[in-house]
Chain A
Amino acid sequence: MSKVPTNIGRILNKSINALCPFSIGKNSSQNHCAHYVSHIMGYEFPGPTCKNFTWADKQKPAKGATIRVDDLFKNSTTVDLLANKPAAITECLVFVTLDSNIKKIGNKYVMGNHPRKHIGILSQGKVWNYSNTNNKVVSDLLATFITKFTNAYKTNGSNVVFYYGKFI
């Protein structure tokens, strides 16, 4: 059974504040990719969330959502290179960052604190993710998603890498 809400498309083309009642949801200059994924999937892990970031937000009754990509990467049950994703897995998290921002400790991948990182939800053959440039939810074909972030993140001396993570 799918862990992705069947109505994932309901906020396509809408801003994060359609999902988030807290003040971070109104800040359009921040990276809302993990924030969007967490609201959709119901992820609220220890660490910074949209609810615990300010005193006023902590007083509101609504549930918060994890806002950092590295926190979702850390909590994902299985993480590996996207190229190694078994074909049978058709729904998962998709992470993007620089190769220098990932290290392997034992059998476990760890994501670092470099700000170039992004996450989306692979479902129904598309990557559902947050476009911070346009401040809205978009859905990209996987190949389009890979091209878009390879071009956006590439630097001299660093490669752009993609990982998949099983839902938490």
Chain B
Amino acid sequence: MRMLILVIPLLYSCASIAIDKTPPNGEAVYDILLNIRDIRLNNEPLCRMVSTTRNTDNLTFGNHLSTILSSSYNSSTTNTIKSSCALSKHEKNNEIIDIWDCKLEILETSKEGEFISSSMIAFGVNTKSLTYQPGTLRCF
């Protein structure tokens, strides 16, 4: 009985800090991605970009997403989109937190299947709130 009294709180505390290992579903991930469209890239050290076609020095993430998605627009090339999330970590205010590290990869190929261009967007999703984790945007 004494053993049970000791073990039950221990099990309870483990359960309360455990995280659901099931990644967010695809619709939720794309909702999160599109919800961060107004983020200013000047504030994102791993996603700073310059546009030569837009008349702005303050590009938004949505602007950049439009540029990379449009690479095959009105052309004979094809864009293939692949997306996924995996459990990872992020350092926030000297604290290590769990995140879903999600990525969107765009691969542009010619009719003959040759590589033309590629882009990758990676971003963290807070495992508790299932919202974008600020400071995790990466652009390749």
Chain A interface residues toward B at CB < 8 A: 24, 29-31, 46-48, 52-56, 67-68, 70, 100-103, 110-117, 131-133, 152-153, 155-156
Which of A53, A112, A152, A156 is within 8 Å of B116, CB to CB? Answer: A152
Which of A31, A112, A114 is within 8 Å of B118, CB to CB? Answer: A31
CA distance A46 to B48 in the complex (A): 10
B contact residues, range: 35 or more
Surface stretch bound by A, among B9-17, B29-37, B106-114: B106-114
Chain A residues within an 8 Å CB radius of B68: 113, 115
B45 within 8 A of A: yes
Chain A nearest CB: distance from B50 CB in Å? Answer: 5
Q: Say whether chain A's binding surface is mostly helix, strand, loop, or mixed.
A: loop
0/1 per residue, B113-126, Cβ < 8 Å to A? 11111111010000
Chain A residues within an 8 Å CB radius of B108: 115-116
* Complex contact B45–A113 (CB within 8 A): no
With contacts A29-B82, A103-B52 taken as known, whether A116 is within 8 angstroms of B118 at the C-beta atoms is no
With contacts A29-B82, A133-B114, A152-B110 taken as known, whether A68 is within 8 angstroms of B140 at the C-beta atoms is yes
Chain A minimum-CB-distance residue to B48: A47
B88 within 8 A of A: yes
CA distance A131 to B115 in the complex (A): 8
* Complex contact B139–A102 (CB within 8 A): no
CA distance A100 to B64 in the complex (A): 15
* Complex contact A155–B75 (CB within 8 A): yes
B59 within 8 A of A: yes
B window 52-89: CB within 8 A of A: 52-53, 59, 64, 67-68, 71, 74-75, 82, 88-89
* Complex contact A53–B138 (CB within 8 A): yes
Chain A residues within an 8 Å CB radius of B28: none
CA distance A110 to B54 in the complex (A): 13
* Complex contact B122–A153 (CB within 8 A): no
